[in-house]
């Protein structure tokens, strides 16, 4: 039986064809690469600027009662304490390295996902959920390995309001002179693990949520599809990455934790935290992580999709 090639496709088959066409159309021209990574970095930078105060709160919450158990402050109480003792500007400590990191790390993290997925499609002829997870993990880990110094500077500035007068460059010089250049890559292992888990869960969930919603609901590419998919992605990535994020913060702030001795690595840090502070300590700042990552995911994906549309690129 022959099939009329000119007949229009509809339903799930049409969705699969569209996805396949999008994968095959990935270009390597200079303008496409600039637009591809540029839109990703800009979207993440805007989302970071909006949610940065929540990131400051998250870091402060994660450093409560290091090495001991005790009644933890909630995010609301900590917010009021910072406003009273340090002033509103303290909620934007570390903003400069955070924005620098967002443009570089965000551009690479989101930007490497699509070509990684395309490479897997070319090599294995598949872009299933496992390929999406692997592509996201590779993109996140690679981006973090290259941009870890900006993350170290960011959390150092966020923990110490006295550093805001000296600035990021002065803090970097002080850090290198006192602790050596390797200090800029403190916590890079857990940071890579967190970024791999974050990007794999966030982008794979977003990508797969879009595919399922387009296939089984009346939703099409547009604001409502992007909003729902990004909300699902933000929730999933928070649940998976909160403990790894806490360990990463502790390792980057080793000096703040000297009372319990030096952490040897990420696994040792997690073990020490569970033994001295209890299992729930792995989710210190968990609500702040969700309060930041949820809106950040939504802003990032909605803005990135719009910028890609304006630049003439395919949707993620």
Q: What is the pLDDT of residues 8-67, one digit of tens each?
A: 445 544 444 444 445 445 567 888 888 999 999 999 999 999 999 988 888 888 777 656
Q: How far apart are CA 300 and CA 34, in angstroms?
A: 18
Q: How far apart are CA 189 and CA 144, in angstroms?
A: 9
Instruction: Give pairs for 209-216: CB < 8 Å, separation 24+.
Output: 209/233, 210/315, 210/316, 211/15, 211/19, 214/15, 215/12, 215/15
Q: Is the pLDDT of residue 137 over 80?
A: yes
How confident is the model over 241-254, as pLDDT tens digits? Answer: 888 888 877 887 76
pLDDT at position 186 is 85
On the 0-12 / 13-18 / 19+ scale of CB atoms within 10 A, 176 is middle
Q: Which of 295, 306, 132 is nearest to 222 (CA)?
A: 306
**Average confidence (pLDDT) over 252-274:** 73
pLDDT at position 4 is 47
Calculate the average pLDDT of the chain.
82
Q: How far apart are CA 44 and CA 105, in angstroms?
A: 9
What pTM was estimated for this model as a whole?
Answer: 0.75
Q: Which of 188, 32, 38, 8 is nearest to 108 (CA)?
A: 38
Q: Which of 44, 36, 55 is nearest to 300 (CA)?
A: 44
Q: How far apart are CA 262 and CA 224, in angstroms?
A: 47
Q: Is the pLDDT of residue 3 over 80?
A: no
Q: Which of 107, 121, 151, 116 is nearest to 136 (CA)?
A: 116
How confident is the model over 295-316, as pLDDT tens digits? Answer: 999 999 999 999 999 998 888 8
Residues 6+ apart with CB under 8 A from 4: none
Q: Which of 276, 280, 282, 254 is nearest to 69 (CA)?
A: 276
Q: What is the DSSP string of 53-68?
A: HHHHHHHHHHTTTTTS
Q: How far apart are CA 162 and CA 86, in angstroms?
A: 10
How confident is the model over 152-183, as pLDDT tens digits? Answer: 888 888 776 665 556 778 888 888 888 888 88
Q: What are phi and psi of 30, to 5 degrees?
A: -55, -45
Q: Is the pLDDT of residue 223 over 90?
A: yes
Q: How far apart are CA 217 and CA 224, in angstroms?
A: 12
pLDDT at position 258 is 53
5 pLDDT band, cuts 50/70/90, is very low
């Amino acid at each position: 039986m022959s099939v009329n090639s000119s007949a229009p496709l509809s339903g799930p088959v049409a969705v699969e064809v569209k996805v396949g066409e999008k994968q095959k159309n990935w270009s390597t021209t200079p303008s496409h690469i600039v637009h591809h990574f540029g839109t990703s970095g800009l979207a993440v930078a805007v989302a970071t600027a909006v949610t940065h105060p929540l990131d400051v709160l998250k870091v402060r919450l994660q450093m409560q009662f290091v090495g001991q158990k005790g009644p933890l402050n909630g995010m609301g109480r900590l917010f009021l304490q910072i406003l009273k003792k340090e002033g509103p500007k303290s909620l934007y400590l570390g903003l400069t390295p955070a924005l620098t990191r967002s443009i570089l790390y965000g551009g690479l993290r989101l930007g490497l996902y699509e070509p990684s997925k395309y490479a897997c499609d070319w090599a294995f002829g598949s872009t299933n959920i496992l390929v999406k997870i692997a592509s996201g993990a590779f993109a996140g880990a690679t981006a973090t390995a290259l941009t870890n110094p900006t993350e170290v500077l960011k959390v150092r500035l966020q923990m110490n309001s006295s550093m805001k007068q000296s600035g990021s460059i002065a803090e970097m010089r002080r850090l290198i002179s006192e602790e050596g250049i390797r200090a800029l890559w403190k916590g890079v292992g857990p940071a890579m693990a967190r970024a791999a888990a974050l990007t794999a869960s966030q982008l794979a969930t977003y990508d797969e949520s879009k595919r399922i919603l387009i296939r089984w609901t009346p939703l099409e590419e547009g604001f409502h599809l992007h909003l729902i998919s990004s909300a699902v992605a933000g929730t999933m990535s928070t649940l998976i990455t909160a403990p790894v994020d806490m360990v990463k913060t502790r390792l980057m702030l080793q000096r703040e934790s000297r009372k319990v001795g030096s952490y040897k690595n990420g696994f040792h840090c997690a073990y020490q935290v569970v033994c001295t502070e209890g299992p729930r300590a792995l989710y210190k700042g968990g609500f702040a992580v969700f309060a930041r990552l949820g809106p950040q995911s939504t802003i990032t994906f909605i803005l990135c999709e719009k910028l890609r549309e304006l630049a003439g690129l395919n949707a993620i």
